Structure 1
Amino acid sequence: MSALVSKASISVLAAVAGTVFVSYCIYFDRKRRSDPEFRKKLKEKRKRRKNVSKDGTTTLPDLKDHEAVQQFFLREVQLGEELLAQGDIEEGVEHLSNAVAVCGQPQQLLQVLQQTLPPQVFRLLLERLPVVGQRLMVNAAQSGLGMAEDDVE
Protein backbone atom coordinates (compact mmCIF):
# COMPACT_ATOMS: atom_id res chain seq x y z
CA MET A 1 0.00 0.00 0.00
CA SER A 2 2.93 2.38 0.64
CA ALA A 3 4.02 2.00 -3.01
CA LEU A 4 0.53 3.03 -4.08
CA VAL A 5 0.60 6.05 -1.78
CA SER A 6 4.02 7.13 -3.00
CA LYS A 7 2.92 6.82 -6.66
CA ALA A 8 -0.17 8.87 -5.90
CA SER A 9 1.81 11.49 -4.02
CA ILE A 10 4.34 11.68 -6.86
CA SER A 11 1.50 12.16 -9.36
CA VAL A 12 -0.04 14.90 -7.23
CA LEU A 13 3.34 16.55 -6.76
CA ALA A 14 3.98 16.46 -10.53
CA ALA A 15 0.54 17.97 -11.21
CA VAL A 16 1.15 20.73 -8.67
CA ALA A 17 4.60 21.45 -10.11
CA GLY A 18 3.15 21.60 -13.62
CA THR A 19 0.41 23.97 -12.49
CA VAL A 20 2.92 26.21 -10.72
CA PHE A 21 5.14 26.29 -13.83
CA VAL A 22 2.24 27.19 -16.16
CA SER A 23 1.06 29.87 -13.69
CA TYR A 24 4.59 31.25 -13.53
CA CYS A 25 4.74 31.44 -17.35
CA ILE A 26 1.37 33.18 -17.60
CA TYR A 27 2.27 35.68 -14.87
CA PHE A 28 5.56 36.70 -16.46
CA ASP A 29 4.07 36.81 -19.96
CA ARG A 30 1.43 39.27 -18.76
CA LYS A 31 4.05 41.26 -16.87
CA ARG A 32 6.28 41.36 -19.96
CA ARG A 33 3.46 42.44 -22.26
CA SER A 34 2.34 45.21 -19.92
CA ASP A 35 5.89 46.59 -19.78
CA PRO A 36 6.07 49.84 -21.82
CA GLU A 37 9.58 48.94 -22.99
CA PHE A 38 8.36 45.61 -24.40
CA ARG A 39 6.56 47.18 -27.38
CA LYS A 40 9.52 49.45 -28.05
CA LYS A 41 11.95 46.52 -28.02
CA LEU A 42 9.61 44.45 -30.18
CA LYS A 43 9.38 47.21 -32.80
CA GLU A 44 13.17 47.54 -32.80
CA LYS A 45 13.58 43.79 -33.24
CA ARG A 46 11.12 43.75 -36.15
CA LYS A 47 12.88 46.72 -37.72
CA ARG A 48 16.20 44.86 -37.51
CA ARG A 49 14.66 41.77 -39.09
CA LYS A 50 13.26 43.89 -41.90
CA ASN A 51 16.77 45.05 -42.75
CA VAL A 52 18.12 41.50 -42.89
CA SER A 53 17.97 39.48 -46.10
CA LYS A 54 17.05 35.78 -46.32
CA ASP A 55 20.66 34.63 -46.00
CA GLY A 56 21.00 36.45 -42.66
CA THR A 57 23.03 39.43 -43.87
CA THR A 58 21.90 43.03 -43.63
CA THR A 59 20.60 44.45 -46.89
CA LEU A 60 22.73 47.36 -47.99
CA PRO A 61 21.11 50.58 -49.23
CA ASP A 62 21.23 51.92 -52.78
CA LEU A 63 24.58 53.69 -52.83
CA LYS A 64 23.27 56.34 -55.24
CA ASP A 65 20.73 57.52 -52.65
CA HIS A 66 22.84 59.56 -50.22
CA GLU A 67 19.98 60.04 -47.75
CA ALA A 68 19.32 56.29 -47.59
CA VAL A 69 23.04 55.64 -47.10
CA GLN A 70 23.19 58.22 -44.31
CA GLN A 71 20.15 56.75 -42.54
CA PHE A 72 21.59 53.25 -42.97
CA PHE A 73 24.94 54.39 -41.54
CA LEU A 74 23.37 55.99 -38.47
CA ARG A 75 21.07 53.03 -37.86
CA GLU A 76 23.92 50.52 -38.17
CA VAL A 77 26.17 52.48 -35.78
CA GLN A 78 23.33 52.72 -33.25
CA LEU A 79 22.44 49.03 -33.55
CA GLY A 80 26.09 48.05 -33.31
CA GLU A 81 26.59 50.08 -30.15
CA GLU A 82 23.39 48.72 -28.57
CA LEU A 83 24.28 45.12 -29.35
CA LEU A 84 27.82 45.52 -28.02
CA ALA A 85 26.41 47.06 -24.83
CA GLN A 86 24.09 44.04 -24.48
CA GLY A 87 27.05 41.70 -24.90
CA ASP A 88 26.18 40.45 -28.39
CA ILE A 89 29.65 40.98 -29.84
CA GLU A 90 29.18 39.16 -33.17
CA GLU A 91 26.02 41.04 -34.16
CA GLY A 92 27.41 44.35 -32.90
CA VAL A 93 30.57 43.94 -34.98
CA GLU A 94 28.45 42.98 -38.00
CA HIS A 95 26.46 46.21 -37.79
CA LEU A 96 29.52 48.37 -37.15
CA SER A 97 31.31 46.82 -40.13
CA ASN A 98 28.28 47.65 -42.29
CA ALA A 99 28.53 51.25 -41.10
CA VAL A 100 32.25 51.40 -41.90
CA ALA A 101 31.61 49.92 -45.35
CA VAL A 102 29.20 52.70 -46.38
CA CYS A 103 31.00 55.49 -44.51
CA GLY A 104 32.36 58.36 -46.59
CA GLN A 105 35.49 58.57 -44.43
CA PRO A 106 36.14 55.04 -43.17
CA GLN A 107 39.69 55.72 -41.93
CA GLN A 108 38.50 58.41 -39.52
CA LEU A 109 35.64 56.22 -38.30
CA LEU A 110 38.05 53.33 -37.76
CA GLN A 111 40.33 55.60 -35.72
CA VAL A 112 37.40 56.57 -33.49
CA LEU A 113 36.31 52.95 -33.14
CA GLN A 114 39.85 51.86 -32.32
CA GLN A 115 39.93 54.34 -29.44
CA THR A 116 36.48 53.40 -28.12
CA LEU A 117 36.25 49.63 -28.62
CA PRO A 118 38.15 46.99 -26.68
CA PRO A 119 41.12 45.67 -28.71
CA GLN A 120 39.61 42.19 -29.28
CA VAL A 121 36.34 43.69 -30.56
CA PHE A 122 38.21 46.07 -32.85
CA ARG A 123 40.22 43.13 -34.20
CA LEU A 124 36.97 41.29 -34.98
CA LEU A 125 35.74 44.39 -36.78
CA LEU A 126 38.88 44.54 -38.92
CA GLU A 127 38.53 40.85 -39.76
CA ARG A 128 34.90 41.37 -40.79
CA LEU A 129 35.52 44.38 -43.07
CA PRO A 130 36.76 42.50 -46.19
CA VAL A 131 33.62 40.35 -46.25
CA VAL A 132 31.34 43.37 -45.94
CA GLY A 133 33.40 45.30 -48.49
CA GLN A 134 33.05 42.46 -50.94
CA ARG A 135 29.29 42.33 -50.35
CA LEU A 136 29.15 46.09 -50.89
CA MET A 137 30.97 45.73 -54.20
CA VAL A 138 28.59 43.00 -55.34
CA ASN A 139 25.67 45.22 -54.34
CA ALA A 140 27.19 48.15 -56.24
CA ALA A 141 27.77 46.01 -59.32
CA GLN A 142 24.19 44.78 -59.24
CA SER A 143 22.85 48.32 -58.94
CA GLY A 144 25.03 49.43 -61.86
CA LEU A 145 27.24 51.71 -59.82
CA GLY A 146 30.78 51.67 -61.20
CA MET A 147 33.32 51.60 -58.40
CA ALA A 148 36.95 50.67 -58.47
CA GLU A 149 37.94 47.83 -56.19
CA ASP A 150 40.27 50.01 -54.16
CA ASP A 151 37.47 52.56 -53.50
CA VAL A 152 35.97 50.16 -50.95
CA GLU A 153 38.20 49.19 -48.05
Structure 2
Amino acid sequence: MEITRTTLGIAVGIAGTLFLGYCVYFDQQRRKDPLFKKKLRERRQKAQQNASRSRTMGGPLPDMSDHEAMQRFFLQQIQLGEELLAAGDLEAGVEHLGQAVAVCGQTQQLLGVLQQTMPAPIFHLLLKKLPEVSERLRASMKASGKMLQEEDVE
Protein backbone atom coordinates (compact mmCIF):
# COMPACT_ATOMS: atom_id res chain seq x y z
CA MET A 1 0.00 0.00 0.00
CA GLU A 2 1.42 3.28 -1.10
CA ILE A 3 0.96 6.38 1.03
CA THR A 4 0.23 9.41 -1.10
CA ARG A 5 1.01 12.99 -0.29
CA THR A 6 -2.68 13.68 0.19
CA THR A 7 -3.06 10.86 2.72
CA LEU A 8 0.07 12.01 4.55
CA GLY A 9 -1.21 15.62 4.60
CA ILE A 10 -4.55 14.55 6.01
CA ALA A 11 -2.85 12.41 8.70
CA VAL A 12 -0.59 15.31 9.74
CA GLY A 13 -3.60 17.66 9.80
CA ILE A 14 -5.58 15.29 12.02
CA ALA A 15 -2.59 14.77 14.35
CA GLY A 16 -2.09 18.55 14.60
CA THR A 17 -5.75 19.11 15.35
CA LEU A 18 -5.71 16.42 18.05
CA PHE A 19 -2.59 17.94 19.62
CA LEU A 20 -4.13 21.42 19.57
CA GLY A 21 -7.33 20.05 21.14
CA TYR A 22 -5.25 18.32 23.82
CA CYS A 23 -3.47 21.62 24.62
CA VAL A 24 -6.71 23.60 24.77
CA TYR A 25 -8.39 20.98 26.99
CA PHE A 26 -5.58 20.96 29.56
CA ASP A 27 -5.26 24.74 29.46
CA GLN A 28 -8.95 24.98 30.34
CA GLN A 29 -8.49 22.46 33.16
CA ARG A 30 -5.54 24.44 34.49
CA ARG A 31 -7.47 27.71 34.38
CA LYS A 32 -10.47 26.17 36.16
CA ASP A 33 -8.26 25.13 39.07
CA PRO A 34 -9.18 27.38 42.04
CA LEU A 35 -5.54 27.63 43.12
CA PHE A 36 -4.31 28.58 39.64
CA LYS A 37 -4.91 32.32 40.00
CA LYS A 38 -3.46 32.33 43.50
CA LYS A 39 -0.32 30.51 42.35
CA LEU A 40 -0.03 32.79 39.34
CA ARG A 41 -0.28 35.93 41.51
CA GLU A 42 2.31 34.57 43.94
CA ARG A 43 4.67 33.73 41.08
CA ARG A 44 4.27 37.20 39.56
CA GLN A 45 4.79 38.93 42.94
CA LYS A 46 7.91 36.88 43.56
CA ALA A 47 9.26 37.75 40.11
CA GLN A 48 8.46 41.42 40.65
CA GLN A 49 10.18 41.41 44.05
CA ASN A 50 13.24 39.74 42.56
CA ALA A 51 13.30 42.28 39.74
CA SER A 52 12.96 45.24 42.08
CA ARG A 53 15.58 43.81 44.41
CA SER A 54 18.04 43.37 41.56
CA ARG A 55 17.32 46.92 40.32
CA THR A 56 17.78 48.28 43.83
CA MET A 57 20.99 46.44 44.40
CA GLY A 58 22.21 46.96 40.84
CA GLY A 59 22.59 43.29 40.13
CA PRO A 60 24.53 40.64 41.98
CA LEU A 61 26.96 41.79 44.64
CA PRO A 62 30.63 41.30 43.85
CA ASP A 63 33.13 39.29 45.85
CA MET A 64 34.72 41.74 48.29
CA SER A 65 38.12 40.09 47.85
CA ASP A 66 38.07 40.56 44.04
CA HIS A 67 39.36 44.09 43.45
CA GLU A 68 38.35 44.20 39.77
CA ALA A 69 34.81 43.02 40.52
CA MET A 70 34.49 45.66 43.23
CA GLN A 71 35.74 48.33 40.84
CA ARG A 72 33.22 47.26 38.15
CA PHE A 73 30.42 47.28 40.74
CA PHE A 74 31.49 50.74 41.96
CA LEU A 75 31.56 52.18 38.42
CA GLN A 76 28.24 50.53 37.57
CA GLN A 77 26.60 52.06 40.65
CA ILE A 78 28.01 55.52 39.89
CA GLN A 79 26.78 55.30 36.29
CA LEU A 80 23.31 54.04 37.29
CA GLY A 81 23.05 56.74 39.95
CA GLU A 82 23.95 59.50 37.51
CA GLU A 83 21.53 58.19 34.86
CA LEU A 84 18.66 57.94 37.32
CA LEU A 85 19.32 61.41 38.74
CA ALA A 86 19.40 62.82 35.21
CA ALA A 87 16.08 61.06 34.49
CA GLY A 88 14.57 62.63 37.61
CA ASP A 89 14.38 59.49 39.78
CA LEU A 90 16.09 60.95 42.85
CA GLU A 91 15.37 58.08 45.25
CA ALA A 92 16.84 55.36 43.03
CA GLY A 93 19.73 57.57 41.91
CA VAL A 94 20.71 58.36 45.50
CA GLU A 95 20.35 54.66 46.36
CA HIS A 96 22.88 53.66 43.68
CA LEU A 97 25.27 56.47 44.56
CA GLY A 98 25.00 55.40 48.21
CA GLN A 99 25.98 51.87 47.25
CA ALA A 100 28.98 53.24 45.34
CA VAL A 101 30.03 55.28 48.37
CA ALA A 102 29.51 52.26 50.65
CA VAL A 103 31.91 50.04 48.67
CA CYS A 104 34.40 52.79 47.89
CA GLY A 105 37.79 52.50 49.58
CA GLN A 106 38.20 56.28 49.72
CA THR A 107 34.83 57.33 51.04
CA GLN A 108 35.77 60.83 52.20
CA GLN A 109 37.36 61.79 48.87
CA LEU A 110 34.35 60.49 46.94
CA LEU A 111 31.94 62.38 49.19
CA GLY A 112 34.01 65.53 48.65
CA VAL A 113 33.76 65.14 44.87
CA LEU A 114 30.04 64.41 45.05
CA GLN A 115 29.48 67.43 47.29
CA GLN A 116 31.13 69.69 44.72
CA THR A 117 29.31 68.21 41.72
CA MET A 118 25.80 67.59 43.10
CA PRO A 119 23.12 70.06 44.12
CA ALA A 120 23.05 70.50 47.91
CA PRO A 121 19.56 69.00 48.50
CA ILE A 122 20.47 65.81 46.63
CA PHE A 123 23.82 65.55 48.43
CA HIS A 124 22.07 65.91 51.79
CA LEU A 125 19.60 63.21 50.77
CA LEU A 126 22.59 60.99 49.95
CA LEU A 127 24.17 61.64 53.34
CA LYS A 128 20.88 60.92 55.07
CA LYS A 129 20.40 57.65 53.16
CA LEU A 130 24.03 56.46 53.36
CA PRO A 131 23.82 54.62 56.74
CA GLU A 132 20.69 52.75 55.61
CA VAL A 133 22.28 51.77 52.28
CA SER A 134 25.51 50.67 53.97
CA GLU A 135 23.64 48.53 56.48
CA ARG A 136 21.51 46.93 53.77
CA LEU A 137 24.61 46.23 51.68
CA ARG A 138 26.38 44.74 54.70
CA ALA A 139 23.38 42.55 55.55
CA SER A 140 22.95 41.31 51.97
CA MET A 141 26.63 40.43 51.74
CA LYS A 142 26.49 38.51 55.01
CA ALA A 143 23.34 36.73 53.85
CA SER A 144 24.96 35.75 50.55
CA GLY A 145 27.95 34.36 52.41
CA LYS A 146 30.45 36.85 51.06
CA MET A 147 33.08 37.75 53.58
CA LEU A 148 33.03 41.37 54.61
CA GLN A 149 35.75 43.33 56.33
CA GLU A 150 34.88 46.36 58.49
CA GLU A 151 36.99 48.65 56.33
CA ASP A 152 35.29 47.44 53.13
CA VAL A 153 31.95 49.06 53.96
CA GLU A 154 31.97 52.30 55.88
TM-score (ref. length: structure 1) = 0.58
* Stretches of structure 1 lacking an aligned partner (at least 5 in a row): 1-49
Whether the 8 Å contact between 1:137 and 1:147 is mirrored in structure 2 is no
Q: Which residue identity does 2:127 align to in structure 1?
A: L
Structure showing greater Rg: 2
Q: Aligned partners of 2:146, 2:74: CA distance in 1, in Å?
A: 21
Q: Report the CA distance shift for 1:105/1:52 in structure 2 as closer, same or farther (over 3 A).
A: farther
Match of 2:110 in 1: 109
1:145 to 2:147 alignment: yes
Match of 2:53 in 1: 53
Match of 1:91 in 2: 92
Q: Report the CA distance shift for 1:89/1:123 in structure 2 as closer, same or farther (over 3 A).
A: same
Matched-pair identity in %: 56
Match of 2:137 in 1: 136
Q: Aligned partners of 1:130, 1:74: CA distance in 2, in Å?
A: 20
Match of 2:44 in 1: none
Q: Aligned partners of 2:110, 2:52: CA distance in 1, in Å?
A: 23
* Stretches of structure 2 lacking an aligned partner (at least 5 in a row): 1-49
C-alpha deviation, 1:136, in angstroms: 2.5
Residues 61-113 of structure 1: CA deviation (Å, up to 9, x unaligned)? 22122111111111110111111111111111011001101111011000000
Q: Aligned partners of 1:51, 1:78: CA distance in 2, in Å?
A: 19
C-alpha deviation, 1:140, in angstroms: 3.9
Q: Report the CA distance shift for 1:52/1:61 in structure 2 as closer, same or farther (over 3 A).
A: farther
Q: Report the CA distance shift for 1:144/1:72 in structure 2 as closer, same or farther (over 3 A).
A: closer
Q: Which residue identity does 2:62 align to in structure 1?
A: P
Match of 1:127 in 2: 128
Q: Aligned partners of 2:56, 2:84: CA distance in 1, in Å?
A: 16
TM-score (ref. length: structure 2) = 0.58
